[in-house]
Chains A and B, each alone.
Chain A
Amino acid sequence: MSFSKKSKNRLPAVSTASLPDIVFMLLFFFMTVTTIKDHKLLVDNNLPAADQVKELAKKDRVIEIFVGKPSPELEKVLGAEPRIQLDDRLAAISEVGPYVLSKLSEKPDAIKNLVTVSLKVDKEVNVGIVADIKQELRELNLLKVNYTTFETNLE
């Protein structure tokens, strides 16, 4: 008896009519600030930080090369030595050249000489492997590289 009496006095339900609007707003925010991830990372990729950075060119003008030590679940099989990841596979240094050329041939002629190679290298990796990749790129006359980093304010 006393229970039903109480329930008559309670506040009216909160209107949820504007909930879709709020959620849509969030949705559009995420849609605009994010880029779609194309491949699963097989290597650790903890990029170094820098503040004197430039924004990378449009995505279609970029060829990505990942370098890092294999991710924890692969480490048991592959060891902790840094590896190069091209698309979805791990590769040896000698495969970098053919891979980059095949990527380059997919690009339209108009932007072929604007292509930048983005080196996404883990900060723990030794410089040697990066130097080898740069040497491979020089052989192919692909001279625009970008050391991809996180942007931070170091000051």
Chain B
Amino acid sequence: MARNNEIPEVNAGSMADIAFLLLIFFLVTTTIQTDVGIDRKLPPKDTTPPVQIPEKNIFRVSLNKNNELFVEDDLLPVEELRKVAIAFLDNGGAKQNDDGYCNYCKGERNSKSSDSPTDAIIAFNSDREASYGSYVEVQNELTAAYNALRNREAQRLFNKDFVDMEKNYYDAKTPIDVKQELKKQIKQIRDMYPMKLSEAQTTFNL
């Protein structure tokens, strides 16, 4: 009697087979997420009429069809682009009493280079025959230059890395009140070093 009431044990021997089947299904149908990249905002279609910008505030970067990088008409290895771009952006050449004086710049304050980070423009031109790989490489280095400067200021003002601040801001788990605070701080840093990267055709005014 008592023996009949015992519940028979379920045979779990095939469990491994079922799980393996599922595992293999997921292995074949999926790809590991590679969805990261460099964000850019394109300029609107109806562009404003050409504006005159002093040549010293423009940093000309161009890529020719042999994937060679030219910075202000000189050949430059890609590895050095970051350093040169930082030096240009952080120059802060405006005089102490001028409007555009940059009190947080740590550059050389050369009067022949950019007045302040808010005036500095990087003009990037690429030949149509240049390879996309080197194009992205240049974009990456220029982004790195901005990020380095923004990180420096974010460390000084808020003791945080700018990149981490942005990551927290876009993270869905961050509470709203923290986000609002972060938004203000991010905007402040972005205003200090606005990303002015132009890919338009710029003409020389000689």
Contact = CB atoms under 8 A, between A and B. Distances in A.
Contact of B44 (A19, A26, A128, A138): A138
B19 interface: yes
Interface string B99-129: 0000000000000000000000000001111
A20 B12 CA distance: 9
Contact of B35 (A143, A144, A148, A154): A148
A32 B34 CA distance: 14
A55 B170 contact: yes
**Main SS of the interface on chain A?**
mixed
B128 A127 contact: yes
A51 B82 CA distance: 13
A31 interface: yes
Interface stretch (A2-10, A85-93, A101-109, A118-126): A118-126
Nearest to B130: A127
A51 B32 contact: no
Contacts of B35: 35, 55-56, 59, 62, 118, 148
Interface string B26-58: 110111111111111111110000000000000
B34 A48 contact: no
Given A23-B20, A123-B131, 12 more contacts: A37-B30, A48-B136, A50-B139, A54-B39, A56-B35, A116-B39, A123-B133, A138-B45, A142-B42, A143-B41, A147-B139, A149-B38
Interface of A: 16-17, 19-20, 23-24, 26-27, 30-31, 33-37, 47-48, 50-56, 59, 62, 67, 116, 118, 121-128, 130-131, 134, 137-139, 141-151, 154
When A and B form their complex, which 7 residue pairs have the shortest distance between CB atoms, in order from nearest? A123-B133, A128-B128, A34-B30, A148-B37, A20-B15, A23-B19, A50-B140
21 contacts: A16-B16, A30-B23, A30-B26, A36-B29, A37-B31, A47-B34, A51-B140, A52-B140, A55-B170, A116-B39, A123-B133, A124-B132, A127-B132, A131-B126, A141-B45, A142-B42, A147-B38, A147-B136, A148-B34, A149-B140, A151-B34
